[in-house]
A and B are shown apart, each in its own frame.
Chain A
Amino acid sequence: MEQHVNIRALASKLFTHFILIIATMVIGLPFLWMLSTSIKGPTEVAMFPPVWWPKEVRLDNFTTAWNTAPFGRFYINSIVTAAAGVILGVVTAAFAAYAFARIRFKYRDFFFLVMLAAMMIPGQVALIPNYVILAKLNWINTYQGIVVPHIANVFGAFLLRQYFMTIPNDLYDAAQIDGLGHTRTLLHVALPLSRPVLGTLLLYLFIQKWNAYLWPLIVTNKQNMRTLPVGLAMIRSAEYSIGPEHLMAASIFVLMPVLIAYFLAQKQLIEGIAAGAVKG
């Protein structure tokens, strides 16, 4: 009897692994296919059935891809706009979050609802007006044009507010007794205590901005102002006659920083997303 139960438990465990391995393969294969294609020569790219590991590994695909378009410049544009967007986004969110968590004000709840309402408005609705505003400011093809319309982030403010409210009142009271004003309480008490959620938020925002496509596409039309995703999408058009191996190599340029960040911090990121979304 005992043995019978064990065998059944083992079989069920094996079945679970079987299902999850299949799922992992379905999700993982496109990434491997990208990698495999990026190191193939043109003859092996045009082979059916496909070869997974080429006879000759062609790393020169990466240099060819890098030279088809100013990828160095795209990298700089992406790093500058993502970093500026994240820093400004977290700073504004932290101040708003602190105000909503700690500063008493008669209409606070009303303003909080207004802020949450902004989260429900789809950004796609604002594309044309924002373009018109930026054109008037002469901000087309500028870093501030890419960054500024997306600084305000309600999600971040909401997440930080929730976290600030879990910090015991005693700590805030102690700060007050020590004569710290609100700004210094935020900088020296609330933010240092929120390090875990702050790290997740920073990384989450960075990845979101790094991957952004629609807005940078609209607000840039000069090649030297494009971010990586926009530049990558452009080289697929007919004016560049390059093979799939180069397209896959160029895609890896875009993915690399995010994949590294993701695998270093996947646990925090995944759990942060789960916690944030369920509460939200």
Chain B
Amino acid sequence: MWTFFAFTGPTFILLAIFIFWPIFYSFYLSLFKWNMVSPRKTFLGLQNYKDMFSDDVFKLVVKNTLIMAFFTVVVKMAISLYLATQLNKKIRLSNFYRAIIFSPTFTANVAIAMVWAWIFEPTYGLMRSFLRPLGLPMIDWLKSTSHSLPAVIIVLIWSGIGYDMVLFLAALKNVPLEIYEAAIVDGANPFQTFWKITFPLISPTTFFLTITGFINVLKAFDIARIMTEGGPLNSSNVYVHYLYQNAFQWFRAGYASALALVLFLFIMFITLIQNRLSKSWVHY
């Protein structure tokens, strides 16, 4: 038993200090008004939570975050599932295609945001040269209240396709070939085979990617921070970025802690649903 504690001790001590304790401490801080430096904290009770409901920026940020999560996850998964089915065929160069499409997964978000900010540049940017032949007007993506959030979503989709595709591909490779052969013998066309056989069989992966993808977008910060700083007029401001602004730019540690705790509860709620549903709904 002592060896067990000696071996797991370092991990548990670090988790206790930097992961578990912060949840309780966040709750404690969320009951105060505090600027993070002053030794004095003013007790507010639940006022910080009440303030969220009257904070228009908070409402906009939640809306932006949910829109971003929905579109990013749906579009990214549709594209990556399609690419995975293509990559699952026995073709040459498949490792090359896979390596390139997966590469943004390991690329620093800061560098991704840098190059995409330059792509979205209105006069000389690459995006303009692709959109002009389609007869679209010049768009200042990052400075427009209607286009800044879509720009961030496009970048999240671009950088996330590879990861989803690789997981879908692993799932597709696990579908036994005999099932396909049986389906062909029974006269099923490729469309039917996909929706009636493949899709149900890979549903655990689809489910896993939907939930984890959704949670990851809720936690997204880097791209929005660097490309738009949440602007203009908060049109691309998202949850963790707003939390960051409150805590580390405006020094509203109490309010930011309340935001953190709400995010924590929401993510826990989704995780619980995931655990429930994955037991009853998913085919294994």
Contacts and interface: CB of A to CB of B under 8 A. Distances in A.
A168 interface: no
A111 B268 CA distance: 19
Interface in A70-120: 92-93, 95-96, 98-100, 103, 105-106, 108, 111, 114-115, 118, 120
Interface stretch (A54-62, A194-202, A270-278): A270-278
Contact of A129 (B25, B102, B222): B25
A120 B265 CA distance: 11
A255 interface: yes
Interface stretch (B54-62, B141-149, B192-200, B253-261): B253-261
A39 to B, nearest CB: 14
Contacts of A179: none
Contacts of A251: 110-111, 114-115
Interface in B13-69: 14-15, 17-23, 25-26, 29, 36
B106 A207 contact: yes
A239 B131 CA distance: 32
A255 B7 contact: no
Given A100-B8, A151-B14, A232 B26 contact: no
A47 B124 contact: yes
Interface in B59-86: 79, 82-83, 86
Decide if the interface of chain B is mainly helix, strand, loop or mixed. helix
Contacts of A125: 22-23, 26, 260-261, 263-264
A267 B103 CA distance: 11
Contacts of B124: 45-48, 50, 244
Interface string A27-47: 111110110010000000111
B210 to A, nearest CB: 14
Decide if the interface of chain A is mainly helix, strand, loop or mixed. helix
A13 interface: yes
B260 A128 contact: yes
A174 interface: no
B100 A28 contact: yes
A127 B243 contact: yes
A214 B158 CA distance: 21
Interface string B90-105: 0101111111111111
Most chain A CB neighbours (cut-off 10 Å) among B22, B23, B83:
B22
A87 B253 CA distance: 33
B111 A232 contact: yes
A50 B130 CA distance: 10
Most chain A CB neighbours (cut-off 10 Å) among B115, B171, B247:
B115
A233 interface: yes
A34 B123 contact: no
B121 interface: yes
Given A45-B124, A211-B107, A213-B108, A111 B29 contact: no
The size bracket of the interface on A is 35 or more
Contacts of B110: 211, 213, 229-230, 232-233, 251, 254
B6 to A, nearest CB: 8
B152 interface: no
A255 B102 contact: no
B233 interface: no
Given A24-B100, A92-B11, A218-B248, A211 B109 contact: yes
Contacts of A48: 123-124, 128-129
Interface string A205-230: 00100110110001000000000111
A69 to B, nearest CB: 13
B18 A128 contact: no
A240 interface: no
A124 B83 contact: no
Contacts of A95: 7-8, 10-11
A224 B263 CA distance: 33
A65 to B, nearest CB: 12
B25 A96 contact: no
Contacts of B93: 17, 20
B270 to A, nearest CB: 10
Contacts of A192: none
Contact of B25 (A118, A120, A132): A132
A177 interface: no
Contacts of A211: 106-110
B271 A30 contact: no
B139 interface: no
24 contacts: A17-B93, A19-B82, A20-B86, A24-B96, A27-B103, A27-B162, A33-B119, A48-B128, A99-B3, A99-B4, A114-B12, A126-B18, A126-B260, A131-B247, A133-B17, A149-B14, A152-B15, A152-B19, A236-B226, A244-B124, A262-B106, A266-B99, A270-B98, A278-B205
Interface of A: 13, 16-17, 19-21, 23-24, 26-31, 33-34, 37, 45-50, 92-93, 95-96, 98-100, 103, 105-106, 108, 111, 114-115, 118, 120-133, 148-152, 154, 157, 182, 207, 210-211, 213-214, 218, 228-230, 232-233, 236, 244, 247-248, 251, 254-255, 258-259, 262-263, 266-267, 269-270, 273-275, 277-278
